[in-house]
Structure 1
């Protein structure tokens, strides 16, 4: 295998950098030595850039008479369903060992896979070693190395006569077996039903399967002994897995496993439509809130009393707080995800209030304490309104005139609860007075968050604390452990 072939395949089919490709060329140069030393087949596989499959970019075969691979597999596509060890090592960055895997030639091999990492510790490829598995199992003291229940599984699979149905009879997948002339020699009950429905005939045994189901011709014409294809026909979505059964150079037959994904694809389309509808609802809610805000601003410009002005401003801030929730949802790339990042929401709500507030000398500090907190849109609306009311109170009453000061918003997390603390270093309050804003906070904390709200005593300023339990609607990612609150 020329190094130029590896470089060409990696350049065309992968996103690897020039340095990564150079590293793979270095590894590939040693494959033949290790193949001869271990009497095993060596391969390098790389993930493809446009799909979830991999491609073989390098190989080395040992000088053996009884070859497992008759032909080169350079440039062959590798599927997850047939090579789980390859994709496990890619995802986990760890070694994998498969005691019995199926090669492109339909032979059973023992497969060891190790990841190849670059200088940034990123997995750029996997190195594979394969040895043929013989039916006679060697003696070993390690019980984990041995399969068990061979007699029982043979009994269930139908190796012995019994009244028990074989496994393929109980599965929803279609199992079809054809001989070397592509004549149907076995079909499980689901397969029989499928063929009779699609071919409109009940005479199917020992009939050429391609004549019965012409849409399978491209699958049979495909030269690869192991092949996966997705077909769409007559409103059906099918995944066809083909394995040619060989003994040395002799082709014994072909096994087809067909999955009917029609119902699954229909459900996916329904979910997609629901997702689009939900997104459209979010858009409309956001637009309606902006319309309400525009009407309030228009009324304020038309002229209102000084006494009423503060009420209008408070209402505008509340509308904006709710609107911020939907803006963050719509900014989410995942259309089905309506979770809201509380930290980002708090920043959005507070920044506008401090910028538009009368006192420009008040600083705002928001601390997440190293945690990322997500919650449902319903709870996010409640939290946005709570933050709005409490920060707005501090801006209005804690810093008279042009007094300098700070407002600090703190999020603390525990194993089973979340705490929100909003404090300032302003003039403080001797006694809390009933107001619409505080009534909104109390109702939201108790009824929506099932939590507790209180003012904590401080020598300087005001300190409001909200505590509510963690629930399935609240997800905390502990980027940094936080204990004290």
Structure 2
């Protein structure tokens, strides 16, 4: 395989960088040597962009008389249903070894898979080694989620084909088996009902399966021995799996597994429509908040008593804080995701308020212990208003005139509670004075967060703490080792 072929496939089907491709190409350069040395078939597979599948980008076959693969498989799509070890190594970055596996070409092989990583330890591909086995060997695997117990299954099913429905009769998938002349020789009960409905024929045994189900013509004509098709037939959405069963070079039959996903696709469309509606609601809420803010600014420009200015500014900040929640929701790449990262929310609100105080030399520090903290939009609105009030209080009262200072917002957690600390090194206060802002904070902490709000004594400045329980609405992703509060 040429260097250009690997590069072209990676550029066309993956999101890999030029540096990643160089790493893969260096490994591909050694594949033939590895194949001859180990008498094994070597491959490099890479995950496809915008897809759950993988693609073969490099291969090398041992130079021997017996051939497991008669034709090149470069550019072939790899499905997890048929080669789970490949995807296990991708997900876990661990080696996978299957003592007995069936490839997408219908070959029985011993398969080993190891992940290929780049300079930042990301898995960019997998290196696969396969050796053909001609009889079942003791099964051994180092991973989960890979089928096992083939020998035990054959003992339960028996060698008599009449015993086969013992399992397949209980499944909702349609199981159809045709012989080497494409005559239907087996159908499970669901399959019988499906064929009868589609073909309007009662006598279906030993009939040509394509005559009964004409839409399978393209499936049978497709050259790959193992493949998955998405088809739409008479308003039915079907996933069709085809497996050609061969003995050496002779076709013994073809197994067709059909899954009717019409109801699933309908529900997916309904959820998509609901998602679009929810997104539109978020847009309208954000736009309405911006309209209210614009009206307040217009009123401020028209003139008002000087003593009212502070109330207008406080109200504008509160509106902006709520609006920030919806901006973060709308920025999510997943339209169904309404969770808000409250660390990002805190940065957005606090930094904007500090920047707006152009006459004050105040620096802002926000620490989250390296963790992502997600919460629902409802709780996020409450947290946004709390952050707004407490940071605003520090900006207003902690640093008179042109005094320099610092405001710090820290997040601490243990397994049960999350604590939000807001403190400054300003002039401090003897006793918190009851105000509308503190009343808003108190009510939101108690009623919305089911938590506690208090001031802690400190030698300099003020130190406010909000404590509330971690629940199903508050999720913490510990990306770094946490420091308990």
**1:161 CA drift (Å):** 9.4
> Where in structure 2 are the equivalents of 1:94-133 lying within 5 Å?
94-133=94-133
**1:367 CA drift (Å):** 2.4
Q: Greater shift after overlay, 13-22 or 91-100?
A: 13-22
Quick check: 1:46–1:57 contact (8 Å CA) kept in 2?
Answer: no
- 2:90 equivalent to 1:59: no
Q: Deviations over 1:47-85 (max 9, x none)?
A: 4456433125222135144x4333343443322211111
Other structure's SS at 2:128 match: strand
Quick check: 1:10–1:57 contact (8 Å CA) kept in 2?
Answer: no
Unmatched 5+ stretches in structure 1: none
Quick check: 2:183–2:207 contact (8 Å CA) kept in 1?
Answer: yes
**1:414 CA drift (Å):** 1.9
Q: Deviations over 1:61-120 (max 9, x none)?
A: 35144x433334344332221111122223333221123222344232221122334555
* Alpha-carbon distance in 1 for matches of 2:404, 2:136: 84
* Alpha-carbon distance in 2 for matches of 1:31, 1:402: 69
- 2:232 equivalent to 1:239: no
* Alpha-carbon distance in 1 for matches of 2:210, 2:413: 63
**1:31 CA drift (Å):** 3.9
Quick check: 2:373–2:475 contact (8 Å CA) kept in 1?
Answer: yes
* Alpha-carbon distance in 1 for matches of 2:457, 2:104: 73
* Alpha-carbon distance in 2 for matches of 1:352, 1:403: 19
Quick check: 2:20–2:118 contact (8 Å CA) kept in 1?
Answer: yes
- 2:290 equivalent to 1:301: no
Distance 1:459 1:10, change over 3 A: closer
Quick check: 2:82–2:104 contact (8 Å CA) kept in 1?
Answer: no
Q: Which residue of 2 aligns with 1:406?
A: 406
Root-mean-square deviation (Å): 3.0
**1:446 CA drift (Å):** 0.6
Q: Greater shift after overlay, 475-484 or 214-223?
A: 475-484
**1:40 CA drift (Å):** 3.1
Quick check: 2:419–2:465 contact (8 Å CA) kept in 1?
Answer: yes
* Alpha-carbon distance in 1 for matches of 2:139, 2:17: 46
**1:381 CA drift (Å):** 0.6
**1:384 CA drift (Å):** 0.9
**1:129 CA drift (Å):** 2.1
**1:199 CA drift (Å):** 1.4
Q: Greater shift after overlay, 418-427 or 73-82?
A: 73-82
**1:149 CA drift (Å):** 8.9
Q: Greater shift after overlay, 38-47 or 319-328?
A: 38-47
Q: Which residue of 1 aligns with 2:199?
A: 199
Q: Deviations over 1:261-291 (max 9, x none)?
A: 1111111111111111111111111111112
* Alpha-carbon distance in 2 for matches of 1:106, 1:358: 71
Other structure's SS at 1:170 match: coil
Distance 1:321 1:118, change over 3 A: closer
**1:459 CA drift (Å):** 2.6
Quick check: 1:40–1:62 contact (8 Å CA) kept in 2?
Answer: no
Q: Which residue of 1 aligns with 2:262?
A: 262
* Alpha-carbon distance in 1 for matches of 2:177, 2:190: 13
- 2:82 equivalent to 1:86: no
Q: Which residue of 2 aligns with 1:386?
A: 386
* Alpha-carbon distance in 1 for matches of 2:314, 2:344: 21
**1:432 CA drift (Å):** 2.2
Distance 1:374 1:11, change over 3 A: closer
* Alpha-carbon distance in 2 for matches of 1:61, 1:441: 72
Q: Which residue of 2 aligns with 1:342?
A: 342
> Where in structure 2 are the equivalents of 1:393-472 lying within 5 Å?
393-472=393-472
* Alpha-carbon distance in 1 for matches of 2:268, 2:122: 33
Q: Which residue of 2 aligns with 1:290?
A: 290
The two structures have a TM-score, normalised by structure 2, of 0.89
Q: Which residue of 1 aligns with 2:473?
A: 473
Distance 1:411 1:196, change over 3 A: same
* Alpha-carbon distance in 2 for matches of 1:163, 1:44: 40
* Alpha-carbon distance in 1 for matches of 2:47, 2:353: 49
Distance 1:414 1:356, change over 3 A: same
* Alpha-carbon distance in 2 for matches of 1:385, 1:317: 9
* Alpha-carbon distance in 2 for matches of 1:279, 1:299: 30
Distance 1:323 1:16, change over 3 A: closer
* Alpha-carbon distance in 1 for matches of 2:138, 2:48: 37
Distance 1:223 1:380, change over 3 A: same
**1:185 CA drift (Å):** 0.6
Q: Which residue of 2 aligns with 1:272?
A: 272
Other structure's SS at 1:369 match: coil
Distance 1:357 1:123, change over 3 A: closer
Other structure's SS at 1:127 match: strand
Other structure's SS at 2:169 match: helix
* Alpha-carbon distance in 2 for matches of 1:256, 1:118: 39
State the number of aligned residues.
480
* Alpha-carbon distance in 2 for matches of 1:194, 1:16: 43
Quick check: 1:48–1:55 contact (8 Å CA) kept in 2?
Answer: no
* Alpha-carbon distance in 1 for matches of 2:297, 2:46: 59
Q: Which residue of 2 aligns with 1:330?
A: 330
Unmatched 5+ stretches in structure 2: none
Q: Which residue of 2 aligns with 1:70?
A: 70
* Alpha-carbon distance in 1 for matches of 2:314, 2:409: 20
Q: Deviations over 1:421-447 (max 9, x none)?
A: 122222222222222111111110011
Other structure's SS at 1:224 match: coil
**1:28 CA drift (Å):** 4.2
Q: Deviations over 1:217-260 (max 9, x none)?
A: 11100111112111122222111111111111211110011111
